[in-house]
Amino acid sequence: MRANRAFHLIVSREGIEPAFLADRDRLDRIEVVSVDDGEVILFWENLVALEADEFLAKWDGMDAE
């Protein structure tokens, strides 16, 4: 089964401006939800506030759990 049939992607932004112009306090959220049971598989929040290395450190190894 293709991933787009098994999962639903939900993207929420608190503003309409692109991330590089946004206020650092703006919260952006990305959720990957299972279509079968409605459970959240992956949830990312506040990507604008994290530096790239902080983001990678936070999510490195999450697939091993």
The string of pLDDT tens digits covering residues 1-45 is 888 899 999 988 888 888 788 887 887 888 889 999 998 887 777
- pLDDT score recorded for residue 34: 92
The string of pLDDT tens digits covering residues 42-55 is 777 766 677 888 87
List of long-range contacts for 31-39, beta carbons under 8 Å, 24+ apart = 32/7, 32/8, 33/7, 33/8, 33/9, 34/6, 34/7, 34/8, 35/5, 35/6, 35/7, 35/8, 36/6
User: Domains in the chain: how many in total?
Assistant: 1
- Residue 57: which domain range? 3-64
Over its C-alpha atoms, the chain yields an Rg (Å, rounded) of 14
Give Cα 57 to chain centroid, integer Å. 15
At 58, the pLDDT band (50, 70, 90 cuts) reads confident
Please choose, from the candidates 2, 50, 1, the residue with its C-alpha nearest in 3D space to the C-alpha of residue 59: 50
